[in-house]
């Protein structure tokens, strides 16, 4: 399947996370696997001690994850634009707008909310959320 | 760089409210017509440091802010450990009026944001005579809850991080990064359950849609300020509120969010000065 601009942006997350000066420190107690869905593309993201150890697209056979974030491509495209419009600038804003769902065991997500918000905003074209 | 001293002065006011002693921290700067400012839930008077250091504002207005009990430098009242903190409409109104009387402010202009804005609607209904004018930001008469407040106080989470993480997205992404993180710091410092107890006030009396029709803006002007990126108190929520109050003036701030005075003080002050200038013309 041809990779869209949006999934290409998503796939930049591991490199951008590694280059971030403080993200892994903020997330040093984060150890979990979560599912990130960009439309039809699902990524299993594995975090160990705040570092991404796997960022793997499907198909996934019997995947295990703590929580899943599922949004359509258009929503993530807006979220990762240089100046995201209202309702597409924050994960909770998109959940309230019904263009993103969050499900599963939310404790690890809520415990490290700022970490996950920073991590998932990394593809944004500017350094806005750095 | 030589040291500089800001014009902000802080003091404590001791109040006896319904037999309960309170020691409230009050800050102020400037001279002139009193402009009393109310902080958001889970934060404190530090939100007004930029206003209190704006010479254009302080040359004409005496800008005052106080920490609600449990917030900032105001301690909780004695016996706080025996019950759950929940801010009530009556108590909140009483704190504000007691501070006005203690400081002999006469009839101040009242500015408030979020819970500080919502209480303005209550005061505009019940105690309009105490005020010269009302300016409420992020204060719709009715809003849709968008998260489970149980996450705000749990012994197994760092609740400061959770509170900050929840409100972080309410700011405009264009607001300066340093100011957005400054806005989060008081949330990270807030006492356990304080933000949750403030949100209780929001949700306890969440529907003022019919009562606000009684607000008389002829006697006490009312301005409503709406941040374009505020998905908690949305621009639509604010418009519905403004439409329901005859004479209310709605000011839209498309590039601001739920914390206009802290996330981008420079931009916010432009809107605030316009409102204060309009008020002067209206009251001439």
Distance CA B57, CA B59 (A): 6
The verdict on a CB contact (< 8 Å) between A110 and B165 is yes
Q: Is B188 on the interface with A (CB under 8 A)?
A: no
Please give the residue that has the higher pLDDT: either B96 or A130: B96
Q: Is the ipTM of this complex over 0.85?
A: yes
A125 at B interface, C-beta within 8 A:
no
Strand partners, B33: B61
In the Cβ-directed half-sphere of A73, how many Cα atoms lie within 13 Å?
10
From chain B, the residues in CB contact with A90 under 8 A are 168-170, 231
What is the pLDDT at residue B33? 98
**pLDDT-derived band of residue A2, with 50, 70 and 90 as boundaries?**
low
Does A111 contact B158 at a Cβ distance shorter than 8 Å?
yes
Cα–Cα distance for residue pair B270/B1, rounded to 1 Å? 28
Q: What single-letter DSSP state applies at residue A2?
A: P
Cβ distance of B172 and A89 shorter than 8 Å: yes
Structural tokens at position B41:
């839930």
Chain A residue nearest residue B233, CA to CA: A93
| Burial (0-12, 13-18, 19+ Cβ within 10 Å), B158 | middle
Return the pLDDT at A130: 42
Is the pLDDT at A55 greater than 70, yes or no? yes
Which range marks the domain in which residue A40 is found?
5-120
Cβ-Cβ contacts under 8 Å, A113 against chain B: 161-162, 165-166, 168
**CB distance B139 to B172 below 8 Å:** no
Domain-embedded: residue A126: no
Region A79-98: what's the mean pLDDT? Answer: 97
Instruction: Report yes or no on A59 lying in a domain.
Output: yes
Per CB-CB distance under 8 Å, the chain A contacts of B165 are 110, 113-114, 117
| CATH number of the domain to which A37 belongs | 3.30.1050.10
Q: Distance between CA atoms of B118 and B248, rounded to whole angstroms?
A: 14
Nearest to A86 among B144, B147, B231 (CB): B231
Nearest residue to B194 via CA among B41, B48, B65: B41
- Contact assignment for A110 to B151 by CB distance below 8 Å: yes
Question: What's the whole-model pTM score?
Answer: 0.96
Q: What are phi and psi of B43, to 5 degrees?
A: -125, -160
> For chains A and B, what is the number of CB pairs under 8 angstroms?
58
At B283 the pLDDT is 75
A97 inside 8 A of chain B by CB: yes
User: How distant is the Cα of A42 from the closest Cα of chain B, in angstroms?
Assistant: 24
> What size, in residues, is chain B?
284
pLDDT per residue as tens digits for the range A13-51: 999 999 999 999 999 999 999 999 999 999 999 999 999
User: Residues 57..96 of A with a Cβ closer than 8 Å to B: which?
Assistant: 83-84, 86-87, 89-93, 95-96
Q: Does the residue A127 lie in any domain?
A: no
| H-helix segments, chain B | 49-52, 55-58, 89-102, 115-126, 159-168, 177-189, 194-204, 235-244, 260-263, 265-283
Sheet holding A32-38, edge to edge: A51-57, A41-48, A32-38, A67-71, A100-104
Contact B173, A89 (CB under 8 A): yes
- Check residue B134 and give its pLDDT: 98
Interface check for B231 against chain A (CB to CB < 8 A): the answer is yes
Instruction: Look at A110 and B177 and tell me if their CB atoms are within 8 Å.
Output: no
The residue among A110, A123, A126 with the most chain B CBs within 10 A of its CB, best to mutate, is A110
* Structure-token pair, residue B14: 């001791």
A82: which chain B residues are within 8 Å (Cβ-Cβ)? none
Domain boundaries, chain B: 9-283
The answer to whether the CB of B63 falls within 8 A of the CB of B22 is no
Beta-bridge mates of residue B23: B14
Q: How many folded domains does chain A comprise?
A: 1
Asked whether the predicted pLDDT for residue A127 surpasses 60, the reply is no
Q: What is the DSSP string of B102-146?
A: HTT--S-EEEEETHHHHHHHHHHHH-GGG-SEEEEES--S-----
Tell me whether A130 touches chain B (CB under 8 Å).
yes
> CB-CB: which of B146, B151, B168 is closest to A96?
B146
Tell me, what's the pLDDT at B207? Answer: 81
Q: Which CATH code fits B9-283? A: 3.40.50.1820
Tokens for B63?
A: 């800008």
> CA of B106 to nearest chain A CA: how many angstroms apart?
40
Distance CA B238, CA B225 (A): 8
Over its length of 284 residues, how does chain B's per-residue pLDDT go in tens digits? 789 999 999 999 999 998 999 999 999 999 999 999 999 999 999 999 999 999 999 999 999 999 999 999 999 999 999 999 999 999 999 999 999 999 999 999 999 999 999 999 999 999 999 999 999 999 999 999 999 999 999 999 999 999 999 999 999 999 999 999 999 999 999 999 999 999 999 877 678 989 999 999 999 999 999 999 999 999 999 999 999 999 999 999 999 999 999 999 999 999 999 999 999 998 77
Q: Is A123 on the interface with B (CB under 8 A)?
A: no
User: What is the pLDDT at residue A28?
Assistant: 97
Task: List CB contacts (< 8 A) between A86 and chain B.
Answer: 228-229, 231, 235
3-state secondary structure of B75: coil
Say whether residue B187 is in contact with chain A using an 8 A CB cutoff.
Answer: no
B236 touches chain A (CB under 8 A): no
Q: How far apart are CA A60 and CA A40, in angstroms?
A: 12
Q: What's the rounded Cα separation, in Å, for the pair B176 and B235?
A: 21
Q: Which residues pair with A45 in a beta bridge?
A: A34, A55
Cβ–Cβ below 8 Å for A83 and B173:
yes
Strand B20-29 and strand B33-38: the pairing is: unpaired
What's the pLDDT score for residue B204? 77
């Amino acid at each position: 399947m041809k990779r869209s601009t949006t999934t290409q942006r998503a796939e930049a997350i591991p490199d951008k996370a590694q280059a971030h000066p403080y993200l892994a420190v903020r997330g040093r107690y984060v150890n979990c696997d979560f599912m990130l869905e960009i439309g039809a593309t699902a990524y299993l993201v594995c975090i160990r001690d705040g570092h991404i150890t796997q960022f793997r697209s499907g198909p996934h056979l019997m995947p295990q994850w703590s929580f899943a974030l599922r949004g359509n491509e258009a929503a993530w495209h807006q979220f990762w634009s240089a100046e995201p419009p209202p309702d597409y600038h924050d994960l909770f804003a998109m959940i309230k707008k019904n263009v993103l769902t969050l499900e599963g065991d939310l404790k690890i997500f809520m415990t490290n909310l700022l970490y996950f918000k920073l991590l998932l905003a990394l593809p944004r074209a500017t350094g806005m959320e750095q | 760089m030589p040291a500089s001293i800001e014009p902000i002065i802080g003091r404590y006011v001791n109040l006896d409210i319904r037999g309960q002693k309170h020691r409230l921290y009050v800050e102020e700067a400037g001279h002139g017509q009193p402009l009393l400012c109310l902080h958001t839930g889970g934060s404190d008077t530090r939100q007004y440091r930029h206003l209190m250091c704006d010479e254009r504002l302080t040359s004409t207005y005496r800008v005052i802010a106080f920490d609600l009990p449990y917030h900032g430098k105001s301690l909780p009242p004695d016996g706080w450990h025996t019950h759950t903190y929940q801010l009530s409409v009556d108590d909140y109104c009483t704190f504000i009026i007691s501070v006005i009387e203690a400081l002999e402010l006469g009839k101040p202009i009242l500015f408030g944001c979020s819970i500080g804005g919502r209480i303005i609607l209550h005061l505009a209904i019940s105690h309009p005579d105490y005020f010269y004018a009302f300016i409420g930001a992020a204060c719709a008469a009715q809003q849709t809850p968008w998260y489970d407040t149980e996450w705000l106080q749990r012994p197994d989470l760092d609740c400061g991080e959770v509170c900050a993480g929840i409100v972080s997205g309410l700011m405009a992404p264009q607001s300066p990064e340093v100011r957005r993180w400054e806005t989060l710091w008081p949330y990270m410092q807030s006492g356990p359950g304080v933000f949750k107890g403030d949100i209780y006030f929001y949700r306890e009396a969440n529907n003022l849609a019919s009562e606000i029709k009684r607000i008389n803006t002829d006697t006490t002007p009312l301005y409503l300020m709406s941040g374009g990126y505020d998905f908690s108190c949305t621009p639509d929520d604010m418009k519905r509120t403004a439409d329901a109050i005859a004479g209310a003036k709605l000011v839209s701030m498309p590039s601001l969010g739920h914390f206009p005075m802290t996330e981008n003080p420079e931009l916010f002050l432009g809107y605030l000065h316009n409102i204060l200038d309009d008020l002067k013309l209206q009251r001439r």
